[in-house]
Amino acid sequence: MNAPAPSHALMNIAARPDAVMVRGEGSWLEDAAGRRYLDFVQGWAVNGLGHAHPAITRALATQAATLVNPGPAYFNAPALEFAARLAQLSGLDRVFPCNTGAEANEGAIKLARKWGQLHRKGAFEIITFHDGFHGRTLATMSASGKPGWDTLFAPQVAGFPKATLNDLASVEALIGPDTVAVMLEPIQGEAGVRPATLEFLRALRALCDREGLLLILDEVQTGIGRTGTLFRYEAAGIRPDILTLAKGIGGGVPLAALLATEAASCFVPGDQGGTYCGNPLMAAVGNAVLEIVAQPDFLASVRQRGAKLAEGLRALAARHRLGEVRGAGLLLALELGPDRDAPTLVACAREAGLLLNAPRPHCLRLMPALTVCDAEIDQMLTMLDALLAD
Ligand SMILES: *Cc1c(COP(=O)(O)O)cnc(C)c1O
């Protein structure tokens, strides 16, 4: 028997509801039937400025009418500005603009392997972490520690031994002559917003310095203001050798970046590239996003809204006897406890006009626009309260 023909020609890569989204504004999405949704997912923490922010619309329209893509063989002004801004804001020296988080992480892996060839006798192993998530290319899936991904699309790319988050001894035990780097998310997002402690991040920095290893931070989800500082590593008072950014840096468009210190930046022409890497259309959006998000007042407002959201979630947890609230800034998780099924709650919330995400069976993740207002946070908490009471 053939399965019933789907009503569309898209490959079946996600379980999606029937709604077709047609427009968005700020914290709100609207579907083709005219239903409005309060969006606390924002394309998986992508739309830091919410939907249809005028600064992004303006950057796209102006740059589209000027120059879309001369190709990576030539300089263009928005890409030069993008690199200069990111270098200045991060304290790292060199920037490779690209399109997706997975692509930035592939670049980080290649850069570390090249550096190992030059400086560590061909060492190539990168210690990564159980439950980590670094993307969906073969190498980044291999670097990820998602259960089941070791056999899906086997064989894996070799060279990614797995340590346990917040367990320094588990990292030390994996260091050998082939080790070149340690790579992690400062807060594991897909794993259910599991933070590396700030002490652990500092200890990893010290360990890498002592052993002559590169520290690679994947800030695809945590970067660009999401946790209340521009980069999460600022909270630990450390700096990585290699940094990857995506999601929030583009405010919704495909834009990512690989950053490195001068000492780690060892690509030569031919090692790395991509037809769309550094195209001025996306770089112009990145500049517009950074212009807003890097303002100290803006970051202070993220911390204030994050504190309000966390406080509201803790009150709900107490009232409905749920589990812990975790995370930083506007990247938060709420543990529901073993009796409540998160995907079911997400489906009921959508019916009620609220978009939430369930990264784990009993865990909700909240990642609203960084521009979410107090009234929208209150409205979300009221809706969630009613859903939990049912
Ligand atoms: C989303 C994500 C990625 C992958 O980014 P894409 O743009 O989807 O390729 C990598 N690392 C982390 C931490 C992420 O959250």
pLDDT for 233 beyond 90:
yes
Q: Is 191 annotated as a binding residue?
A: no
Longest distance between any two alpha carbons in the chain, whole Å: 62
pLDDT of 7 reads 80
Is residue 102 lining ligand 1, measured as CB closer than 6 Å? yes
Q: Which fold has domain 55-293?
A: Aspartate Aminotransferase; domain 2 (3.40.640)
Catalytic: 218? yes
Tens-digit pLDDT profile for residues 280-325 = 999 999 999 999 999 999 999 999 999 999 999 999 999 999 999 9
Q: Is 101 annotated as a binding residue?
A: yes
Is residue 360 lining ligand 1, measured as CB closer than 6 Å? no
Is residue 99 lining ligand 1, measured as CB closer than 6 Å? no
Spell out the residues 6+ positions from residue 56 whose beta carbon is closer than 8 angstroms to its own. Answer: 49, 251, 252, 253, 285, 288, 289
- Mean pLDDT, rounded, of the chain: 97
pLDDT for 355 beyond 80:
yes
Catalytic: 378? no
CA-to-CA separations, 151 to 141, 147, 301, in angstroms, rounded: 10, 9, 43
- The one catalytic residue in 129, 218, 231, 241 is 218
- The one catalytic residue in 40, 133, 160, 267 is 133
Is residue 220 lining ligand 1, measured as CB closer than 6 Å? yes
Is residue 133 lining ligand 1, measured as CB closer than 6 Å? yes
Question: Which residue(s) pair with 39 in the sheet?
Answer: 355
pLDDT for 1 beyond 80:
no
**Both tokens assigned to 19:** 């709604």
The answer to pTM > 0.85 is yes
DSSP state letters, 293-342: HTSHHHHHHHHHHHHHHHHHHHHHHHHHT---EEEETTEEEEE--TTS-H
CATH class as words, domain 7-53+296-389: alpha beta
Map out the domains of the chain as residue ranges: 7-53+296-389, 55-293
**How confident is residue 6, by pLDDT bands cut at 50, 70 and 90?**
confident
Mean pLDDT value across residues 77-100: 98
| CB 226 within 8 Å of CB 48 | yes
pLDDT for 15 beyond 60:
yes
pLDDT of 5 reads 66
Q: Is 66 annotated as a binding residue?
A: no
Crossing angle between the packed helical segments 374-389 and 296-320, to the nearest 10 degrees: 20
Tens-digit pLDDT profile for residues 129-142 = 999 999 999 999 99
Catalytic: 247? yes
Mean pLDDT value across residues 242-269: 98
pLDDT for 79 beyond 60:
yes
pLDDT of 262 reads 98
Residue type, 243: L
Gap from CA of 341 to ligand 1 centroid (Å): 25
pLDDT of 153 reads 96
